Amino acid sequence: MEKKESLWKEVAGSLSSHISDGNNKCMDILELSYKHLLVHLKPCFLYFGVFQEDTEIPVSKLIALWIAKGLTEKQEQKSLEDVAHDHLMDLIGRSLILIAKRKSDGRVKACNMHDLLHDMCLRTAEQENFLKVIQNQLSISEKHHVSIHSYSNASCSKPSGLHVLPLLFHSLDPSAIISCSLELLKVFDMSTTNMKYYDQKGIRLSVHLREVAQIPEILLNMMKLRYLHFRGGAQFMESCHMRTSKDESFQMNNLENISFLFIYEENDEKILRYSPNLRRLKCAFKVIWDSSKNKFRNPNLNFLNKLESLSVSFHRSYVTNTSPSLMSFPSNVKKLNLCKFDLSLEQISIIGGLLNLEILKLHDVSLEGKRWDTSEGEFLELKFLELEGVQISQWNASSDDFPKLERLVLRKCHHLKNIPSSLGDILTLETIEVHGCRNSVTESAM
C-alpha cells in the first residue's frame, strides 16, 4: 500500500472491526501464540493477568512472584532468578511481553503487556482456572490465583476460604481484610496499599510491603521468606535487637533480597548475619558505635559472601559529622552504588580491586583532592560507570584501567574539566553520556 494517511486509516478501521467482532477473531488469533508456548512458559505468561492493564511491572518483583509461586525450577549451574529471567526473555522474544525500561547493564528493568494480549491472557487464565480477578467482591473460595483490582464499600465481604497462592491488591481499602485468615498465603503483595492497617500475622512465605517503619520479628522467622521490600525504608524493631543481645536466632536463611534497610545500630548488623544467602541489599547507614572497641565504625558486610548487588547511602549522624572510612566489600559484588560518601584515593582503589565488579555508580560523592588517578589492574571487569554529582576536577586514566568498559555516564560533575582521552582507545566502549557538565567535558567526549 502507498504511504497515505487515508489508507492507513482504513487499516486501523479494519483492525478495529476485527477486534470488536463478536466471534472474537482477533482473540482466537492471539491465543495461537499462547497455545504454541512451551509448557513451562504458559503459567509464566498467564501470571501477567494478576497485574492491572497498562501496568509497568518491575522485573525484580515479577521474578520474585514467579519463584514464590513455584513457576520456575532450579537448573544445574543456574539460580532460580536466572532461570526466571530466561523465561521472561523467551516471552519477550516471542513478542508476548514488551520491554518498558532497561537497566544500566542492558538487562530488562521493567516490562508490560499490550492491552489486547492482556485481555487474552485474562480470558485464557480464567478458562484454565489459573486466575480469578475480583472487581468489587471480596468473597473468595476458588483454588487459584486471585487479583483484586478494586473495592466497593457498598457490597463486600472479607476474603474467606483462602486457598489461593498469591493475593494481590490494587487500590484496595485495607480495612476490608484485617480479620482475614492468611495462613496458606504464599505471596502477599500490597505494594500499592498503605500497610498501617495490617497485622502481618500468618503471612508465611513472601512479602512485598510498602510503608512500614519497623520490621517485626514475625517477618524474620518466616523460614521461606525470600524478598523484603520497603519503599520508604525500614529498621528492625527494638524487640529484634533484644533477641540478638540474648543470642536468640532468626530463621532468615532463604532471604535473598532486602530493600530499603536502615543500618543505624550494631544490632542491625548482627541481625543481617542471619541472612548468609543475601544476594541484593539496598541500605542506608550511619557510623555505628562499636561497644567492644569503644569507638565509632562502619557497618561490616563482609560476612555476606553471596552478595552480588549492594547500594549504600551514607547518612551523617548528629553525633559525628565525619564520613566513615569506607567499608570493605564482599568479593562477589558485581554491582555497587555509593551515595554521599567522602572517598580517599586509597578507598577508591579498594573498590577498583573488586575482581567481579561490573557496574559502579557514584552519586554525590567527594573524592580526596578532587582528583582521581586510576592504576593498572583496577576495574578489570567494569562494564558500566556512572558519576553523578561527583566532586572531581581532574581524572587521569588509561585504556588499560578500564579494559572492558562499555558505557560511561557523567551527570552534573560541575568541576570536572575533561574526560581522559585514552578512554577512547577502549575497544569495548560503546557510549558516553554527558548531562549537565562543562562544555569542555562535552568536547572531550566528542
What is the chain's alpha carbon radius of gyration, rounded to the nearest angstrom? 25
The strands making up 407-411's β-sheet, listed across from edge to edge, are: 214-215, 227-236, 257-263, 280-285, 309-314, 335-339, 359-363, 384-388, 407-411, 431-435
Q: What is the DSSP letter of 15?
A: H
Q: What is the pLDDT of residue 145?
A: 56
What average pLDDT does this structure show over 299-305? 87
Place of cell 498501617: 196
Q: What is the pLDDT of residue 394?
A: 93
Q: Which residue has the higher pLDDT, 3 or 207?
A: 3
Relative orientation angle of helices 59-69 and 80-93, to the nearest 10 degrees: 110
The beta-strand segments (E) located in 358-435 are 359-363, 366-367, 371-373, 384-388, 394-396, 407-411, 431-435
Contacts of 408 (CB under 8 A, 6+ apart): 385, 386, 419, 423, 429, 431, 432, 433
Cell of 306: 553471596
pLDDT for 366 beyond 70? yes
Place of cell 467482532: 21
What average pLDDT does this structure show over 146-167? 38
- 24: confidence class by pLDDT, cuts 50, 70, 90: low
Is residue 84 a contact partner of residue 57, using CB atoms and an 8 Å limit? no
Burial 143-158 (b: 16+ CB within 10 A, else e): ebbbbbbebeeeebee
Q: What is the pLDDT of residue 285?
A: 85
Cell of 93: 522474544
**Residue 269 backbone dihedrals phi, psi, to 5 degrees:** -65, -40
Q: What is the pLDDT of residue 177?
A: 38
What average pLDDT does this structure show over 283-309? 82
Of 393, 387, 388, nearest in space to 372 by CA = 393
Report the C-alpha gap between 352 and 356 in whole angstroms.
10
Place of cell 505471596: 187
Q: Give the type of residue at 148.
A: I
Of 96, 30, 116, 100, nearest in space to 61 by CA = 100
- Neighbouring C-beta atoms of residue 160, cutoff 10 Å: 12
Contacts of 291 (CB under 8 A, 6+ apart): 266
- In order, the DSSP letters of 401-418 are TSTT--EEEEES-TT---
Burial 324-336 (b: 16+ CB within 10 A, else e): bebbebbebbbbb
- 291: confidence class by pLDDT, cuts 50, 70, 90: confident
Of 225, 229, 235, nearest in space to 210 by CA = 229
Is residue 273 a contact partner of residue 303, using CB atoms and an 8 Å limit? yes
What is this structure's pTM?
0.74
Q: What is the pLDDT of residue 7?
A: 87
For 224-278, how does the pLDDT look when each residue is reduced to its tens digit (9 = 90+)? 788 888 777 888 888 888 887 776 778 788 888 888 898 888 888 888 888 888 9
Q: What is the pLDDT of residue 439?
A: 95
Q: What is the pLDDT of residue 139?
A: 40
What average pLDDT does this structure show over 14-39? 74
Q: What is the pLDDT of residue 134?
A: 62
pLDDT for 399 beyond 70? yes
- 287: confidence class by pLDDT, cuts 50, 70, 90: confident
Is residue 82 a contact partner of residue 59, using CB atoms and an 8 Å limit? no
Is residue 335 a contact partner of residue 358, using CB atoms and an 8 Å limit? yes
Distance of CA 258 to the CA centre of its chain: 9
Distances (CA, A) of 339 to 261, 299, 363, 384, 412: 15, 15, 5, 16, 14
For 336-364, how does the pLDDT look when each residue is reduced to its tens digit (9 = 90+)? 999 998 888 888 988 999 999 999 999 99
- Evaluated on CA atoms 100, 445, 356, 261, the torsion sign reads negative
For 97-124, how does the pLDDT look when each residue is reduced to its tens digit (9 = 90+)? 999 999 887 889 999 999 889 988 988 9
pLDDT for 445 beyond 60? yes
pLDDT for 297 beyond 90? no
pLDDT for 131 beyond 90? no
Percent of the chain, pLDDT > 90?
A: 34
